[in-house]
């Protein structure tokens, strides 16, 4: 029986559903529907917890839980809480299961997600002139608008320097 994102899920307990003996049609009233929902929700939570336990155990063959928590940017101790029964999102469960399929390479793949692109050229620090001291300093965090504004000031700085020198 399909339930949400799980193609076949066995209810946690049997739910009797009235069925027509002649045609096989099932009649689900409100009470039966509610009982069936509860049984399927319970089965889904159990299945998800089993998947989480297996994924965390597999991932921890390569690194510690704490290392994975840092790498995945989740709270310290969160994997322990999940193992103890804390409810998890379907997205997190799915990601952990996918990573656990090859834990040896998962660590590097997760690191590559947030790494800068390999083709990005390294930016050279932009030269910045300090007006009062007329000394050249470098600042790697100067953005283009600030650099453009400072280049507009260069002629003024040069004329001030020649006037002060004279």
Between CA 51 and CA 123 the distance in angstroms is 44
How is the chain split into domains, by residue range?
Answer: 30-113, 126-165
Per-residue pLDDT in tens (0 to 9) along the chain, 166 residues = 556 777 777 776 677 778 888 998 888 888 888 888 888 888 889 999 999 999 999 999 989 999 999 999 999 999 999 999 999 998 999 999 999 999 989 999 998 888 877 776 667 666 655 555 444 444 444 444 445 555 566 666 566 555 555 5
* Alpha helical stretches, state H, the chain: 30-59, 65-71, 78-83, 90-100, 103-113, 144-165
């Amino acid at each position: 029986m399909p339930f949400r994102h799980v193609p076949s899920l066995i209810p946690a307990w049997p739910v009797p559903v009235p069925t027509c003996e002649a045609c096989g049609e099932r009649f689900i009233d409100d009470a039966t529907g509610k009982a069936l929902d509860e049984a399927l929700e319970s089965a889904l939570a159990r299945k998800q917890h089993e998947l989480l336990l297996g994924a965390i155990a597999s991932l921890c063959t390569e690194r510690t839980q704490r290392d994975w928590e840092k790498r995945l940017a989740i709270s310290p101790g969160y994997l322990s809480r999940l193992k103890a029964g804390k409810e998890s999102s379907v997205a997190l469960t799915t990601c952990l299961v996918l990573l656990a399929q090859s834990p040896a390479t998962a660590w590097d793949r997760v690191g590559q997600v947030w790494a800068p692109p390999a083709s990005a050229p390294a930016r050279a620090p932009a030269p910045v002139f300090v007006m009062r001291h007329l000394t050249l300093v470098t600042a790697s965090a100067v953005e283009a608008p600030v650099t453009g504004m400072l280049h507009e000031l260069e002629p003024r700085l040069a004329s001030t320097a020649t006037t002060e020198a004279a």
